[in-house]
Amino acid sequence: LLNWYTMRTFPKLVGGLSDFFRSPLSNTRKSQWCQWKRAMHQVELTSVRYPNVKRGPYATVDDNDIKFFERVMEPSRVMTDPDIVDSHNVDWLKMVRGASQVLLRPKSTKEVSEVLKYCNTRRLAVCPQGGKTGLVGGGVPVFDEIIISTSLMDDIIAIDGISGALTCEAGCILEDLDNYAAGHGFMMPLDLGAKGSCHIGGNVSTNAGGIRLIRYGNLHHNVLGVEAVLANGEVVDGLTTIRKDNSGYDISHLFIGSEGTLGFVSKVAIECVKRPKAVNVAYLGLKNFNNVLATFRLARESLGEILSSCEFMDAESVHCVEQNLHLRLPIPKCPFYMLIETNGSNATHDEDKLMTFLDLLMRKKLVIEGTMASEPRHISNLWQTRERITEALLLDGYTYKYDISLPLTYFYQIVEEMRNRVGKYTIRCCGYGHLGDGNLHLNMTSKEFNEQLVHKIEPYLFEYIARKKGSVSAEHGLGFKKRDFIHYSKSPSAIELMRRLKNAFDPNGILNPYKVLPDLPYLFFHQLQVNLQSRQRHPKLLLEAYRRAWSGSSNGIALLQPRGEAIAVNTALEVAPKPEVRWVEVRWGPLPSNIRHDHRGDLPHRHSPEPPKVGEKVEKELQDLEPEVIERIPLVPSRGPIVSGPGPGLGLGLGLGPGLGLGLGLEVAAADLVGGTRQGEVELNGGTAGARRWDAMAGGDSRLDFVASARDHAAHQG
């Protein structure tokens, strides 16, 4: 039943990502490099592709700043040559591009500290950068932030021969650390496809997962201590190498996964694991996803403590590697593939266990093809088809990358659903990932960036994830690309607390701005444009207003809810019988943190029995309020779709049942409308009332959400 291919006939596969970046350039590599450089220059500036993201109130670098940096470190490490700086402006996936003009390469914590202290005083924004392999646009600037690279902070300080505690600077490359640890009989607990390029500081800052998390846990488990530099230059020394320390808050752990927004990680202490004496890998081909799940269940049962990795790939992913990188697959084509690895201390014991497991798989007819390796070079070859998928996908053109957590029951369902939904726009839609951790990498590719395709994927995918109680980012972080979707996985109170932490650590917001947290509380508030309201709730009027708001004409009401998903729409001026507030100027302040929302973001006042307040009274009350103004929203018609969620649509359906029927359907995005209407009613008609209720719940300490202040735009301008 099982065709075990002999590893002797296995072809030598070309080098991995690490080789690409690190080996001396051969002619082929040189031409690849030139292609890469050309492609890099074609990446659109982030500020152009995402015009809604506005540059923060930061200073711009001038000659005096450069002179200061050159006093802190050697001038050769203050780089302003556009050719060099540009390559640090573009991310590895070539999806975002900053416009920084300065790259700093400090060599010590002291230098980082002096630079940050100065930047903080001058209000110069900075972007910490490691190996630049991050997949959410976090490690490159959005505008002109100064790039501070860890590439020259690469000293390995020490390793404890008994505990395996390794201390090093943030710029050490993961693979180098692993090689160093190997010399002392240890292994880095973390392993990922980008190991030849990513830095340990970047790993810690993203809380990177990787292929062995199922066995060794994530970095919250392995990192013993961190030294970090705060925005004001203060050095927080948490570089302990002990395992247990309950003396107060664990500050070091705040830096793990904070993606450079709370501090600059300068040194790391990490607990290495004993290097396994026996490693085995089985590469399996399976007929369907149910068999993948059954195999995983059996692997946990049969392999128990030696199971170190359980990865899955669908046919599309693997065939992309074959097609784009010309790698030969270790087994014939199958609908699904799995890589199961064991790490142990006794080769005979592990092999016995693995063979029993494979036997069981064959008897249960769960796999259709397979091969096995226990020799390091063969093992590394088997891993290539998994580890190089990201690289292979990139060669299609543009990758839409989603790294999500889902309960295993829905794990592959979403890949199929998205394939149906976006199939015609994409070159491929595939799924692979760390099955053992419930972490799916869902990827779609197209020749070039296609905004229409993005709208087909988002927020549809995130809504699905929220419904299934998953996470919008399993291991890559939020960076720039996913920050606006944080609310699908975190409650408003958690987000608010994060914001307070950010303010406490970095009051001027100079550390990696535009990353992790949305610009303003929960939403793209500056997309909120057109405001008119009445209490009229006739569905036809709703539809009209919805259409107007959607198309950006000036009379609809569009209001994004705090979860960024729903819309408040009432009616349009011409059709409203009694428009009471002509327009509303909207300002946002954070919601009080003690307000609870359910997973879908229901606001508490939705359930309030109190009728909304309307008319002049509201206007008067609103005028009297003085909320903290975060930004003034210009009341101008929007230029494009300003809301997320489905729009109204017309559908024609043909039904075949006992009889034959032809139906005309009108989709008005009922849920959004209903939710939106109720939301709008309270927030626009009764902005004050809503705010007061929140205020009361927050113990009188809330900042207000809305204020309506003038009769119309012209009067306001006057």
Ligand X SMILES: Cc1cc2nc3c(=O)[nH]c(=O)nc-3n(C[C@H](O)[C@H](O)[C@H](O)COP(=O)(O)OP(=O)(O)OC[C@H]3O[C@@H](n4cnc5c(N)ncnc54)[C@H](O)[C@@H]3O)c2cc1C
- C-beta of 87 vs 553, nearer to ligand X: 87
Site string for ligand X, 131-160 (x = CB under 6 A): xxxxx--xx----------x----------
CB of 52 vs ligand X, minimal distance in Å: 20
- C-beta of 193 vs 225, nearer to ligand X: 193
Is 512 an interacting residue with respect to ligand X (CB under 6 A)?
Answer: yes
- C-beta of 55 vs 547, nearer to ligand X: 55
Is 196 an interacting residue with respect to ligand X (CB under 6 A)?
Answer: no
Q: What's the CA angle centered on 398, arms 432 and 101, to 5 degrees? A: 120
Binding range to ligand X, per CB under 6 A, among 63-71, 193-201, 297-305, 521-529: 193-201
Question: Cis bond leading into 459, ω under 30°?
Answer: yes
* Other C-beta atoms lying within 10 Å of the C-beta of residue 11: 10
Is 113 an interacting residue with respect to ligand X (CB under 6 A)?
Answer: no
- Compute the distance between CA of residue 226 and CA of residue 265 in angstroms, rounded to an integer: 7
- C-beta of 518 vs 690, nearer to ligand X: 518
CB of 420 vs ligand X, minimal distance in Å: 27
Is 209 an interacting residue with respect to ligand X (CB under 6 A)?
Answer: yes
Binding range to ligand X, per CB under 6 A, among 58-66, 199-207, 305-313, 617-625: 199-207
CB of 13 vs ligand X, minimal distance in Å: 15
- Compute the distance between CA of residue 53 and CA of residue 553 in angstroms, rounded to an integer: 22
- C-beta of 134 vs 492, nearer to ligand X: 134
- Compute the distance between CA of residue 170 and CA of residue 717 in angstroms, rounded to an integer: 52
Q: How far apart are the first and last CA of the chain?
A: 83
Is 210 an interacting residue with respect to ligand X (CB under 6 A)?
Answer: yes
Binding range to ligand X, per CB under 6 A, among 190-198, 310-318, 369-377, 669-677: 190-198
Is 222 an interacting residue with respect to ligand X (CB under 6 A)?
Answer: no
Contacting ligand X (CB under 6 A), which of 86, 97, 126, 128? 128
Is 256 an interacting residue with respect to ligand X (CB under 6 A)?
Answer: no
Closest CA to 236 of 116, 370, 341, 330: 116
Near ligand X in 556-585, by CB under 6 A: none
Is 612 an interacting residue with respect to ligand X (CB under 6 A)?
Answer: no
- C-beta of 391 vs 619, nearer to ligand X: 391
Is 475 an interacting residue with respect to ligand X (CB under 6 A)?
Answer: yes
Contacting ligand X (CB under 6 A), which of 193, 521, 590, 680? 193
Is 205 an interacting residue with respect to ligand X (CB under 6 A)?
Answer: yes
Each residue of 255-282: b (16+ CB within 10 Å) or e? Answer: bbbbbbbbbbbbbbbbbbbebbebbbbb
Binding range to ligand X, per CB under 6 A, among 239-247, 256-264, 321-329, 549-557: 256-264
Q: Which long-range contacts (CB under 8 A, 24 or more apart) does 668-673 make?
A: 668/539, 668/542, 668/543, 668/546, 669/546, 669/645, 672/566, 672/567, 672/643, 672/645, 672/646, 673/539, 673/542, 673/543, 673/546, 673/567, 673/569
**Which residues 6+ apart lie within 8 Å of 41 measured at CB?**
86
- C-beta of 13 vs 135, nearer to ligand X: 135
| Alpha-carbon 381 to chain mean position | 29
Near ligand X in 478-507, by CB under 6 A: 479
Is 414 an interacting residue with respect to ligand X (CB under 6 A)?
Answer: no
Closest CA to 403 of 435, 437, 443, 436: 443
Residue with tokens 């099955």: 435
Binding range to ligand X, per CB under 6 A, among 192-200, 422-430, 620-628, 707-715: 192-200
The β-bridge partners of 168 are: 156, 268
Q: How would DSSP label each residue in 646-658? A: ---EEEEEEEESS
CB of 170 vs ligand X, minimal distance in Å: 4
Q: Residue 115: in which H helix or E strand, if any?
A: helix 109-122
Site string for ligand X, 316-355 (x = CB under 6 A): ----------------------------------------
Cβ atoms of 154 and 172 within 8 Å: the answer is yes
Near ligand X in 164-183, by CB under 6 A: 170
Binding range to ligand X, per CB under 6 A, among 206-214, 456-464, 498-506, 661-669: 206-214
CB of 112 vs ligand X, minimal distance in Å: 9
| Alpha-carbon 698 to chain mean position | 31
Burial grade of 48 (CB within 10 A; 0-12, 13-18, 19 or more): exposed
Near ligand X in 79-98, by CB under 6 A: 92
CB of 477 vs ligand X, minimal distance in Å: 7
Q: Identify each DSSP E strand in 406-559 by its residue range.
A: 428-434, 439-446
The size of the interface with ligand X (CB under 6 A), counted in residues, is 39
Q: Identify each DSSP E strand in 278-357 by its residue range.
A: 278-286, 307-314, 336-344
Near ligand X in 9-28, by CB under 6 A: 17
Instruction: Please give the order of strands across the beta sheet that includes 126-129.
Output: 78-79, 103-104, 146-149, 126-129
CB of 310 vs ligand X, minimal distance in Å: 13
Q: Which residue is nearest to ligand X (CB)?
A: 202
- Compute the distance between CA of residue 605 and CA of residue 586 in angstroms, rounded to an integer: 18
- C-beta of 474 vs 542, nearer to ligand X: 474
Contacting ligand X (CB under 6 A), which of 101, 109, 167, 203? 203
Q: What are phi and psi of 660, to 5 degrees?
A: -120, 130
- C-beta of 167 vs 531, nearer to ligand X: 167
Binding-site ranges for ligand X (CB under 6 A): 17, 92, 127-135, 138-139, 150, 170, 192-194, 198-199, 201-203, 205-206, 208-210, 259-260, 264-265, 390-391, 475-476, 479, 512, 515
